[in-house]
Amino acid sequence: MKNLTEGNITEAVIEAIKGTKDPRAKEVMSSLIRHLHAFVKDVRLTQAEWEAAIEYLYDTGQITGPTRNEFVLTSDTLGISSLVDIINSNPDGGTEASVLGPFYIEGSKMVEIGANLIGDSEGEPTVVSGTVRTLGGDPIEGAIIDLWQTAANGLYENQDPDQPENNLRFRMRTNKDGYYQFTTIKPVSYKVPTDGPVGRMLDLQGRHAWRPSHLHYKVSADGHRNLITEVFDEGDEYIEEDSVFGVRQSLTVPYNLVTSEEEAEKYGVASPFHRVEFDFELETL
Ligand code: BEZ
Ligand code: FE
């Protein structure tokens, strides 16, 4: 097509991709092109703004590597990761999904129900328990609970050379009642990394980088849909303003303070300690 104008360039690009064989790829790319063109026209994007956007993408690529993905962090802080979670969540119910984040490690150590993760960690002792069930309420035996969380300094083990390997992360199998239980320290609120392009973007937008205290879980069981989610402290000061939009009402729980010495002894923790309960519901495939 010659004589391209603001009025016809979008259709020219759509025409250029008409040979895309995969129908879903064609649908997605056509829509992306239309939305991007509409956006450029809507804001009357300047040359300098286009250059700034390209520089953002370039810097994002430069800082991204095997241990850090700034593209994912961009998606997270713009709410896109959460929107994808919400769109793809099970319409029939079950535990809501939430962002995976960059600190998950596959294959962390297997521990027994009742494991105590505290070791040398500082922080407030917390006993966490619950069940894994089907949507119909049947317990799922042998489901794998994969957990990871921050230490008291707000860092995950794989961000912090001073923490031992597998610190505050594990995998555990549920028993015949679908039950899991572990003792840990209360995770703390922390900031997502701000030393890259995402930090510049948050500054520009006048936003902070904090995430409210949360436990990360991956829950899987044969014949059931895998669940990646987070469980939040409902009393955290950032619960209403998570920088990556991961909080859902159904994923917030109280950290109940228990002062009874007898209860503390039962779980082998110092008193007082927090008690957290959360049940997972998995969709059957
Ligand atoms: C996290 O919770 O680990 C996380 C999630 C999204 C971006 C950065 C960190
Ligand atoms: Fe996290």
In DSSP terms, which residues pair with 184 in a beta bridge? 126
Confidence (pLDDT) at 245: 98
89 and 220 share one domain: yes
55 and 116 share one domain: no
Share of the chain above pLDDT 90, in %: 90
pLDDT grade for 154, boundaries at 50, 70 and 90: very high
Res 55 pLDDT > 80: yes
Confidence (pLDDT) at 102: 86
In a domain, 74, yes or no: no
In a domain, 254, yes or no: yes
33 and 99 share one domain: no
Count the neighbouring beta carbons within 10 Å of the beta carbon of residue 233: 23
Res 2 pLDDT > 90: no
What is the pLDDT of the chain when averaged over all its residues?
A: 95
275 and 152 share one domain: yes
Q: 65-77: string of b/e by CB count within 10 Å (b at 16+)?
A: eeeeebebbbbbb
Count the neighbouring beta carbons within 10 Å of the beta carbon of residue 174: 24
Taking only the tens place, the pLDDT of each residue in 195-252 is: 999 999 999 999 999 999 999 999 999 999 999 999 999 999 999 999 999 999 999 9
* Residue 231 backbone phi and psi in degrees, to 5: -120, 125
Strands (E), 21-102: none
Residue 192 Cβ < 6 Å to ligand 1: yes
From atom 1 of ligand 1, which residue's Cα is the shortest distance away? Answer: 101
Distances (CA, A) of 283 to 107, 130, 138: 23, 17, 11
Residue 214 CA, closest ligand 1 atom number: 2
15 and 153 share one domain: no
State in Å: Cα 72 to ligand 1 middle: 9
Residue 155 Cβ < 6 Å to ligand 1: no
Taking only the tens place, the pLDDT of each residue in 155-184 is: 999 889 999 999 999 999 999 999 999 999
Which of 61, 65, 17 has the alpha carbon at shortest distance from 37?
Answer: 17
What is the total count of domains within the chain? 2
> For 3, which DSSP code?
S
43 and 108 share one domain: no
In DSSP terms, which residues pair with 131 in a beta bridge? 179
Residue 76 Cβ < 6 Å to ligand 1: yes
239 and 129 share one domain: yes
From atom 7 of ligand 1, which residue's Cα is the shortest distance away? Answer: 101
In a domain, 214, yes or no: yes
The residue assigned the tokens 């955290």 is 236
Distances (CA, A) of 58 to 50, 53, 197, 238: 12, 9, 10, 31
Residue 192 CA, closest ligand 1 atom number: 8
221 and 242 share one domain: yes
Confidence (pLDDT) at 66: 80
In a domain, 1, yes or no: no
38 and 126 share one domain: no
Taking only the tens place, the pLDDT of each residue in 108-121 is: 999 999 999 998 88
In a domain, 4, yes or no: no
From atom 5 of ligand 1, which residue's Cα is the shortest distance away? Answer: 101
pLDDT grade for 1, boundaries at 50, 70 and 90: low
Taking only the tens place, the pLDDT of each residue in 68-109 is: 889 999 999 999 999 999 998 877 889 999 999 888 989 999
Q: Examine the fold and report which residue of 20, 42, 67 is the final residue of a domain before the chain moves on.
A: 67
Q: How far apart are CA 109 and CA 184, in angstroms?
A: 15
Question: The CATH number of the domain where 147 resides is what?
Answer: 2.60.130.10
In a domain, 3, yes or no: no
Among 104, 155, 158, 192, the mutation site with the greatest number of ligand 1 atoms within 8 A of its Cβ is 192
Q: In degrees, to the nearest 5, what angle opens at C-alpha 32 toward C-alphas 13 and 61?
A: 105
262 and 189 share one domain: yes
In a domain, 202, yes or no: yes
pTM for the whole thing? 0.91
Cβ pair 152, 121 in contact under 8 A: yes
Full residue range of the structural domain in which residue 45 is found: 9-67
Residue 101 Cβ < 6 Å to ligand 1: yes
Confidence (pLDDT) at 107: 92
147 and 114 share one domain: yes
63 and 139 share one domain: no
* Residue 12 backbone phi and psi in degrees, to 5: -65, -40
Which of 134, 136, 135 has the alpha carbon at shortest distance from 221?
Answer: 134
